[in-house]
Structure 1
Amino acid sequence: MSWKKMMLDGDAGGGPALKGTVAVDPPNITKASTENVDVSVSGLLTTHKVYVQCQSDLENGLVCISAYCPTNGTLRFRISNWSSAAIDGAQRTWAYQAYT
């Protein structure tokens, strides 16, 4: 099943296994580098496919390059700074959906 179909129709179970929002506060990320930001999400499993969306604009230069569950109960955001200066991103609300 394609990710587009999953997002539009849900997975075989009829929709996301989990969904909600979390606060994400990136650390100061030096130029041209990447940091992991971990948040707790109850019920999230390493077998889930996770989709995330920031609910407001990130600072210019910051990009979320992936989101996944490295250990049960942890949602990891990999945030890169593609600019030529360090950026300390503000805390923002992110939405997530996790599919089985």
Structure 2
Amino acid sequence: MDNKCGKHYKKYTEYAKRFEILSNPIRIGIIVALADGPKKPKEIRALLGVPQPLLSQHASVLKEMGIIERVDKFNVKSPCQLKDKTILDILKAAGIKV
């Protein structure tokens, strides 16, 4: 692929990453769980019915992409909250109730 061709679609890479994030039901569940406010990981686990290691793995992806964050960044037991609420618009557009 030449440089000229790459320029035309490169700007869509970040958008594609958002859809990639939303390709997993656990990550969607985490986002939906946090739509109405911060929750502790234990509360999210109870809502989704997933084991703690699996929840942590998917929450890490969402944190890395800037979708969620801890309320208190210095407390590992702090509740999580949505950092980028625009992701809710994407879910709503897909027909997901948030």
The interval holding the TM-score normalised by the smaller chain is under 0.3
Q: Which structure: larger Rg?
A: 2
User: Which structure is higher in strand share?
Assistant: 1
Scaled by the length of structure 1, what TM-score is found?
0.27
User: Which structure is higher in helix share?
Assistant: 2
- Select the structure with the greater relative contact order (CA < 8 A; seq sep ≥ 6): 1
